[in-house]
Amino acid sequence: MLGDGNEGISTIPGFNQIQFEGFCRFIDQGLTEELYKFPKIEDTDQEIEFQLFVETYQLVEPLIKERDAVYESLTYSSELYVSAGLIWKNSRDMQEQTIFIGNIPPLMNSLGTSIVNGIYRIVINQILQSPGIYYRSELDHNGISVYTGTIISDWGGRSELEIDRKARIWARVSRKQKISILVLSSAMGLNLREILENVCYPEIFLSFLSDKERKKIGSKENAILEFYQQFACVGGDPVFSESLCKELQKKFFQQRCELGRIGRRNMNHLDIPQNNTFLLPRDILAAADHLIGLKFGMGALDDMNHLKNKRIRSVADLLQDQFGLALVRLENVVRGTICGAIRHKLIPTPQNLVTSTPLTTTYESFFGLHPLSQVLDRTNPLTQIVHGRKLSYLGPGGLTGRTASFRIRDIHPSHYGRICPIDTSEGINVGLIGSLAIHARIGHWGSLESPFYEISERSTGVRMLYLSPGKDEYYMVAAGNSLALNRDIQEEQVVPARYRQEFLTIAWEQVHLRSIFPFQYFSIGASLIPFIEHNDANRALMSSNMQRQAVPLSRSEKCIVGTGLERQAALDSGALAIAEREGRVVYTNTDKILLAGNGDILSIPLVIYQRSNKNTCMHQKLQVPRGKCIKKGQILADGAATVGGELALGKNVLVAYMPWEGYNSEDAVLISERLVYEDIYTSFHIRKYEIQTHVTSQGPEKVTNEIPHLEAHLLRNLDKNGIVMLGSWVETGDILVGKLTPQVVKESSYAPEDRLLRAILGIQVSTSKETCLKLPIGGRGRVIDVRWIQKRGGSSYNPETIRVYISQKREIKVGDKVAGRHGNKGIISKILPRQDMPYLQDGRSVDMVFNPLGVPSRMNVGQIFECSLGLAGSLLDRHYRIAPFDERYEQEASRKLVFSELYEASKQTANPWVFEPEYPGKSRIFDGRTGNP
């Protein structure tokens, strides 16, 4: 559908907007819709009635903070309270109480994520086949076309109408069973006269039916019996009854004939009310008419892979489905409790009837077991954004990685501006897990919409339209990367355009719409690749995935060559501390900032050495001094992998493309020891080690620093409570938590020396077993935090937990993986002394040596543009932000930009070797060991 028309230039939407809006839609609409469906519950004697008053429900803000929920492994959720009433019909008395239903789903934070049992989780969007009817044609073994109409219900059930090679119309209700369309229509309540009145060509319709089928038409009861016999595969002669009708209604009509509001909208070419969401006999007969038309060459088949035939199952839909399932379980609990109270002659109250178990267990199962509920990837700020914008064909009701065809995985023209053609997973799920384009949004009907600028001769302003899939096929759409900013220059030119999934070359005057942004059809990961138009798509795919594997470094650095989206990505990642209002900084510390304004003081906490679920270090660094006046939205602190409010995933290092004695053969990389000694690629990681104390059958386990039979140097870091001290440096094998577990020891099981000590000196031998928490191999580091989580009721089912967090400093070494932004990845094969590395003509030694043969074979020439422009930027002390497809301004624009900057750098630094006209972008370098070129 056409979206809202907005005057003016568009801005990039928030990257977390889809997740956050989905949760808000569930809170505002989904909760109310499901609560209104909750029925009135009566006892068997119909004397007591229980009902919910939806108008007065309320959500209570969580009592704990997000950070405390993470450290204490709690769920950050909101409590739901609803008014309920219990009515005695005889006396018309009513007892009304506000009851606690349960914890409604883990409350989303500003990033659109949830905290469940102390773990950040996210619910990703799913792509499903939209409910409705779809027509296709297949060839049988004789080469004759068989036309089929597949009816997909809102719950995913399928039924088919088909015209076989003998020109007969069947309704297939299962894989093996099919019945005549007359029987199905009669079972749904129509007689032969009404059937013929609802088809367009009655004579042709009757010609597709055999004489035997026409004679079978009779009463509705006979049609239901025959339908039930075929559907349920029942032998003999079943007898018509109400229970048989209810069973058929439940198993077939409710599961396979409920279209939902989206399915009714897709099928509603008849004058059927929009609120009638079930399949009607008129729908089936209209589908049969279309099949007959296809048989005679009229009408069109459907493209099942077109996005207009897909719908997005967002976080709001998934949470609403789980809430409805929990209310169904709650209904059964309330019904059983009422009957039990009446049976035992007890007086029930609304609070006694309702329990929070159904809602709590339903959401715990959903967030813990559902394949679309995943642990949030927090390796770096980019991964947090990209993970929430994924689109998956997998999951319940969807496809599987082993059965999905290549046609489904392939790129479709309707993906333009909606799903990124580059960013997808690698391996068996390639093409099944995609990523939303930057400007795409989810429409009201679950479709993906993309914005376009309307080109009109009448209006001078710019009007933006959001188009759903299928609607843009009626317009001539020109790509934004083929149009210059100056419209007068383009009016007489011929431009490429897209019309009905075909690419044409038309005059400028014929264009109806154009793209609003060169990044419009890319995802966030692909949009961060400079000069992406010069790279092969497979290498751009690898780069999009490898950027999410980048580890935050101890000293981040802003990239010299970027695309301009680095700031937006950093802002929406939540890694930065942003001023929520204007004011003046009155106090700064490593863990908080106090901001004074409007007569009060606002405390802004900072993230200090927080562990992510990938063991990377999340840390915020203060950027504003005390006493400075700031404005709303200003950056107060940088986060991990951000510098100056921009995303900074890597480092700017000097790279040479040349062979070096085979050490950079294939994908091997040679690096300088400067990267190690100057901590260029040094990163910090935080590991978590935990231990629990239980109450055993022999007594409670004890945490102590007095552990027998252990050497003293292993216990040197323990305090008086038996827990490692903050700031301690621990090595492999050191005791982090001293713990003793009681056990029963028989006299015969004592060692000989123990029996001797007891007999001679009377020393009591310990009857406890040492079960300490020891630091495993490779875990050496500094203890930065210790958490002792003490829970009430120290039973074995509710143990106490002690967690120790250790920070580790890791330097780059042989065997580590390094990668650029163009799919150029490699493994470090050797670390050379800096004096042995090749050096430039000004004496600077190279930091890395790549294999030059990896560029032409992989067709990722963009890295050469970035390398040359980065050299010019380092000499001129400049940073470049270049949008892709800059050839829309002029031919060879990228090459001209790089050469002009190299020429300017050569002039300003008085180094002619920087730009040699005969060999632009190349330079002679010298061997650091011999000094020879």
Name the token pair of 828.
């470090």
The answer to whether 526 touches 532, Cβ cutoff 8 Å, is yes
Cα–Cα distance between 542 and 858 in angstroms, integer?
11
The helix/strand/coil state of 444 is: coil
Residue 661 scores a pLDDT above 80: yes
Which of 285, 293, 286 minimizes the C-alpha distance to 192?
A: 285
| pLDDT tier for residue 447 given thresholds of 50, 70 and 90 | very high
DSSP code per residue over 408-424? HHS--GGGTTTB-SS--
The answer to whether 753 touches 815, Cβ cutoff 8 Å, is no
Gyration radius (Cα) of the chain, Å: 35
Q: Are strands 702-703 and 739-742 parallel, antiparallel or unpaired?
A: antiparallel
| Residue 481 pLDDT | 56
Burial call 532-543: b when 16+ CB within 10 Å, e when fewer: bbbbeeebbbbb
pLDDT tens readout for residues 163-210: 877 777 888 877 777 777 777 777 777 777 777 877 887 777 777 666
Among the ranges given (460-469, 554-563, 797-806), the one the predictor scored with the smallest mean pLDDT:
460-469
Average pLDDT over residues 114-132: 91
**CA-based torsion, 316, 322, 325, 330: positive or negative:** negative
Say which residue the tokens 């040094």 belong to.
682
| Residue 724 pLDDT | 95
pLDDT tens readout for residues 754-801: 677 667 766 655 578 889 999 999 889 999 999 988 765 444 456 889
| pLDDT tier for residue 311 given thresholds of 50, 70 and 90 | very high
Mark out the alpha helices in 344-442 (DSSP H runs).
Answer: 350-353, 357-369, 381-388, 406-409
| pLDDT tier for residue 250 given thresholds of 50, 70 and 90 | low
Which of 110, 117, 152 minimizes the C-alpha distance to 135?
A: 152
| Residue 7 pLDDT | 46
pLDDT tens readout for residues 220-230: 667 777 776 66
pLDDT tens readout for residues 815-839: 999 999 999 999 999 999 999 999 9
The answer to whether 80 touches 52, Cβ cutoff 8 Å, is no
The answer to whether 335 touches 499, Cβ cutoff 8 Å, is no
pLDDT tens readout for residues 400-412: 888 888 999 999 9
Q: Which residue has the higher pLDDT, 338 or 698?
A: 338
| pLDDT tier for residue 234 given thresholds of 50, 70 and 90 | low
What's phi and psi for 169, nearest 5 deg?
A: -95, 125
Cα–Cα distance between 68 and 364 in angstroms, integer?
19
Q: Which residue has the higher pLDDT, 679 or 63?
A: 679
- 924: which DSSP letter? -
Residue 749 scores a pLDDT above 60: no
Residue 104 forms beta bridges with which residues? 78
The answer to whether 572 touches 645, Cβ cutoff 8 Å, is no
| pLDDT tier for residue 212 given thresholds of 50, 70 and 90 | low
Among the ranges given (75-79, 203-207, 303-307, 753-757), the one the predictor scored with the smallest mean pLDDT:
753-757
Burial call 760-791: b when 16+ CB within 10 Å, e when fewer: eeeeeebebeebbbbbeeebebbbbbbeebee
Task: Write the CA distances from 81 to 55, 240, 249, 258, 360, integer angstroms.
Answer: 11, 46, 35, 31, 14
| pLDDT tier for residue 528 given thresholds of 50, 70 and 90 | very high
Cα–Cα distance between 183 and 178 in angstroms, integer?
10
Mean pLDDT of the chain: 85
Average pLDDT over residues 209-236: 63
pLDDT tens readout for residues 853-905: 999 999 999 999 999 999 999 999 999 999 888 887 788 899 999 999 999 99
Cα–Cα distance between 350 and 365 in angstroms, integer?
26
Which residue type is seen at 918?
Answer: E
The helix/strand/coil state of 832 is: strand
Average pLDDT over residues 49-57: 87
Q: Which residue has the higher pLDDT, 618 or 159?
A: 618
The answer to whether 161 touches 287, Cβ cutoff 8 Å, is yes
| Residue 3 pLDDT | 43
Cα torsion 761, 764, 765, 766 to 10°: value is -150
Burial call 4-21: b when 16+ CB within 10 Å, e when fewer: eeeeeeeebebbbebbbb
| Residue 764 pLDDT | 58
| Residue 168 pLDDT | 77
| Residue 522 pLDDT | 93
Residue 748 scores a pLDDT above 60: no
Return the percentage of the chain with pLDDT > 70, whole number: 89
The helix/strand/coil state of 299 is: coil
Cα–Cα distance between 322 and 368 in angstroms, integer?
13
pLDDT tens readout for residues 322-360: 999 999 999 999 998 888 888 887 888 888 889 999 999
